[in-house]
Chains A and B, each alone.
Chain A
Amino acid sequence: MSTTSSIAMRLRSWGSALLLPGLAIFTALVIGAIIIVATGADVLSAYGGLFMGAIGTPRAIAYTLVDATPYIFGGLAVLIGFRGGLFNIGVEGQIAVGSMCAAIVGAFVELPPGLHALAAFTAGALGGAIWGAIPGWLRARTGAHEVITTIMFNYIAIRTTDYLIKVPFLDTESSAQRTPFIASGAEIPFIFGEDYRLHFGFVIALAVAFLTNWILQRTILGFEIRTVGANPDAAHYAGMDVPRTIVSTMALSGLLAGMAGAVQVLGLEHNLKAAFSAGYGFDSIAIALLAASNPLGVIPAAIFWGALRNGAGLMQLNSGISINLINIVQALVIAFVAADQIVRQLYRIRSSKGNAMSLTRGWGR
């Protein structure tokens, strides 16, 4: 009996966890439809195109999952920061460092196949971890707010990566500004062949999401991260090493971000082009918000994001609506998730106590 009721409870809590993001998405799409009508286009052909382009064919689904892969890692990176009471805006920079490290090890180190991929992936993850740990250390030691330092570290990372791509690691045999192709033994293989582009990085992403959930819920480290995030004073009172936990949280966050960069290089691109990341790190913040602090929630949130991005092209082709509409819809989704009171008002949902998500502990503390 207790198992049935616990399953029922779990289902109910899943239902309520999905309710608000679902309604936020629905509302954003309705407003998007109004905008489409206002510009004189046909809603059905626009959203039909979006739908078909995103999940209408096996290939579309595969492409959507490809797009979702870095978002899963990035979303987890931001999320683990949130859970630890830290707002890591530096995921973009940590992705850049991660992809650079993976590209260098993939192209310039010789190792047996398989092991080579593992080494390149690990290098990317560790690069991101170090790049995340530094702002964490600054926060723990000096109180420098991670929002400021990670933004600054983004500039450093992105510009440095750009230089490394264009000068020391430039592939001189190519006219494009990119690093040489990685060794084939360093590639993360495709699942259904090159045609579908879907690579095992997606599977790794799913596994890492479950692993992150397990770490947060079931390990000592996760307990420390959550406790420091919920109430650092109580964590200190209980004998936890709060500065060390802050550094660990940022390192773990950077590690996940570094994985995002690494799988993109090793699974999909096979080299690193100048200006490669294209805002994955910032979209990851949106995905973590949409996932409502639940590591497993990152998976559907990232797939949704990938679907919007992937379906936008066919939408434009079908209805002449600019791809930029998708940015508006994405922005509205986030606005409604962040300002969930609007959605609650709109659909008369009573707010449940103790459910509030704290993103960061605010400034100067």
Chain B
Amino acid sequence: MTPVLEVRNLTKRFPGIVANDAVNFTLEAGEIHALLGENGAGKSTLMNMLYGLYRPDEGDIVLNGTVAHINGANDAIRRGLGMVHQHFMLVPTLTVAENIILGNEVVNGLLIDIHRAQQRIRELADSFGLAIPVDALVQDLPVGVQQRVEIVKALYRGADILILDEPTAVLTPQEADDLFVVIRRLKAQGKSIIFISHKLREVLALADRISVLRRGKLVGSTTPSQANEASLASMMVGRDVVLHIDKSAAQPGEVILDVAHLNAVDERGMRALNDVSFQVRAGEIVGIAGVQGNGQTELVEAITGLQAPQSGSITVAGQAIGGRGTNVAIDAGMGHIPEDRHHHGLILSYSVADNMVLSTYDVAPFARGMVIDETAIMEQAERLVQQYDVRTPSATALASTLSGGNQQKVVVARELARPLKLLVAAQPTRGLDVGSIEFIHKSIVAQRDQGSGVLLVSAELDEILSLADRILVMFHGEIIAELSAANADRNQIGLLMAGVRSDTGVRS
């Protein structure tokens, strides 16, 4: 049988790099084909060529047996390709139905016939078992539902081939399971699916076939029955990878961070933290598990001084810092690996060296009086680039030219270069390649072993389970459970993350 999609020797070059090097890839009808690869391996380039956003330099894209020259996203949609981006392309202030028909409106004369559109969308969604509230505003929907809207949008435009780009990045384990049910149902109804991910476990659970990209080359294809996590990881990285972190038992010392009765609101004024209290001791890693959007962002912003809390106290090594700004937190000995490195962590238009003094530019040895000492800045930068294995042509290269993993290493290097009492690490490895994750995890454990307290906030349960000595679960702005890492159970935490309280370890 002819594959619905075939990619033959596809090559795409960018200045200085071959992003896709003679890639061959087939997608059979009714198949779930996972595309696995580190950041920068060329997954996005490949998908953008399929979606008509880039033109291949060499090679062919074959759709249902005929060579196709896909000319832009609209052409791709016409040919039955649908893409669900990692960052949703939805207008928050429009309803679900309006979002779905956007650019493809059902019209009645000059007017949009929204009722007819809603009817059609409902029928379509029901036929795939995808429940979506067609007249709700997108901004009021949970992320998992927004994602379903994106899928229905693609189906509405007649997609037979669905490309899902890192679809589980924003979901709870349970929401991800729901998504897998949806994907399997789509498959049963004859749709073909390309599932892009870097999460090995998911790929093994869902895919019919797995192809691995590394540095622009397709290094192999396999099936879940022939592969396991370790074999996939080494295919991705090109060497054996330590998936488990070797760390000794924690040696908790005195209390470093004391958070008491913290209340805060989010940027829309909704209650985000509800009477949160906990402590972090020197020499331990406390992990906060939870689905994104359950108050973790606000908790980190309050502790690090980015946002003043409404009430409650925050003390670092005995010094009250709550609501007194970022500089007070930094002076108290806090380091902060922020959740969004582009938003907070880096000045992309600055050099690596300047980024490494973002919060120490005004103290010796980097400043003498009013004047900045570039030599001292360069010396530190060269030392840190070496020590943290930042892959950059030089310390004067702009941060924007580095890969995500190396950008994050710049942030980590900068924060750990100061003497720290407390490290707050928020989603420290989000979107990074396996090699960088390994390195950053080791750095965090090393910081703990030097006697710092570490507060780790992560939406990746695996990260919490492998790093934390103690685990707190956040749900709806409250800490609903505390578990020691030794007797933590993945399923139990997953349920707690969804707000289902069991008996063990639950705080009253």
Contacts and interface: CB of A to CB of B under 8 A. Distances in A.
B397 to A, nearest CB: 10
B358 interface: yes
The listed residue with most B CB atoms (<10 A of its CB), out of A218, A227, A230, A237, is: A237
B347 A221 contact: no
Interface string A211-254: 00000001111110001001101101111110000000000000
B343 A233 contact: yes
Interface in A180-237: 218-223, 227, 230-231, 233-234, 236-237
Interface string B367-404: 10011101000000000000000000000001011000
A220 B306 contact: no
B347 A219 contact: no
A308 B347 CA distance: 38
Contact of A239 (B330, B338, B343, B347): B330
The listed residue with most A CB atoms (<10 A of its CB), out of B349, B370, B374, is: B349
A354 interface: yes
B326 A239 contact: yes
A237 B336 contact: yes
A220 B367 contact: yes
A365 interface: no
Contacts of B329: 239
Contact of A219 (B336, B345, B359, B370): B370
Interface in B88-106: none
A353 interface: yes
Interface in B232-251: none
Contacts of B374: 218
Contacts of B343: 231, 233-234
A218 B338 CA distance: 27
Contact of A221 (B304, B348, B370): B370
A237 B372 contact: no
**Chain A's interface: helix, strand, loop or mixed, by majority?**
helix
A240 B372 CA distance: 15
B327 interface: yes
Nearest to A357: B349
B347 A218 contact: no
Q: Which range contains the number of A residues in contact with the other chain?
A: 10 to 19
A221 B362 CA distance: 9
B431 to A, nearest CB: 18
A238 B370 contact: no
Contact of A234 (B330, B344, B367, B401): B344
Given A220-B361, A353-B400, A353-B401, A237 B370 contact: no
Nearest to B331: A239
Contact of A236 (B306, B331, B349): B306
B326 A354 contact: no
Contacts of B54: none
A237 B345 contact: yes
A131 B335 CA distance: 39
B336 A227 contact: no
A239 B400 contact: no
Contacts of A234: 343-347, 358
Q: Which range contains the number of B residues in contact with the other chain?
A: 20 to 34
Contact of A237 (B306, B354, B401): B306
**Chain B's interface: helix, strand, loop or mixed, by majority?**
mixed
A254 to B, nearest CB: 20
Contact of B326 (A220, A221, A237, A353): A237
Nearest to A217: B372
A219 B366 CA distance: 11
B128 interface: no
Contacts of B330: 238-239
A96 to B, nearest CB: 31
B480 to A, nearest CB: 29
A230 B343 CA distance: 11
B350 interface: yes
Contacts of A230: 347-350
Nearest to B344: A237
Nearest to A353: B400
A234 B345 CA distance: 6
Nearest to A219: B370
Contacts of B362: 220, 223
Contacts of B327: 239-241
Nearest to A350: B15
Contact of A220 (B338, B370, B401): B370
A354 B400 contact: yes
A238 B362 CA distance: 11
Contacts of A238: 326, 330, 358-359
A274 to B, nearest CB: 41
Given A220-B361, A238-B358, A354 B349 contact: yes
Interface in B280-331: 304, 306, 325-327, 329-331
Contact of B338 (A222, A237, A240): A237
Contacts of A354: 348-349, 398, 400-401
B376 to A, nearest CB: 13
Given A234-B347, A237-B336, A237-B338, A219 B371 contact: yes
Interface in B390-440: 398, 400-401
Contact of B359 (A220, A231, A239, A241): A239
B416 to A, nearest CB: 15
Contacts of B349: 230, 354
Interface in A233-280: 233-234, 236-241
A89 B281 CA distance: 52
A141 to B, nearest CB: 16
A237 B335 CA distance: 11
A219 B362 CA distance: 9
A242 to B, nearest CB: 10
Interface string B332-344: 0000101000011
B395 to A, nearest CB: 14
A286 B306 CA distance: 37
A239 B361 CA distance: 11
A37 B304 CA distance: 65
Contacts of A222: 372
B401 A219 contact: no
The listed residue with most B CB atoms (<10 A of its CB), out of A219, A234, A354, is: A234
B453 to A, nearest CB: 20
Contacts of A240: 326-327
Nearest to B329: A239
Nearest to B373: A218
Contacts of A231: 343, 346-348
A361 to B, nearest CB: 13
A324 B85 CA distance: 52
A244 to B, nearest CB: 11
B338 A227 contact: no
Contacts of B338: 237
Report the 5 A-B pairs with minimum CB-CB distance, sorted nearest first: A239-B327, A238-B358, A238-B359, A237-B344, A239-B330
14 contacts: A218-B371, A219-B371, A220-B362, A222-B372, A223-B372, A230-B350, A233-B344, A234-B346, A238-B359, A239-B330, A241-B325, A354-B398, A354-B400, A354-B401
Given A227-B347, A233-B344, A353-B400, 17 more contacts: A220-B362, A227-B350, A230-B350, A231-B343, A234-B344, A236-B306, A236-B326, A238-B326, A238-B358, A239-B327, A239-B329, A239-B330, A239-B359, A241-B327, A353-B401, A354-B349, A354-B398
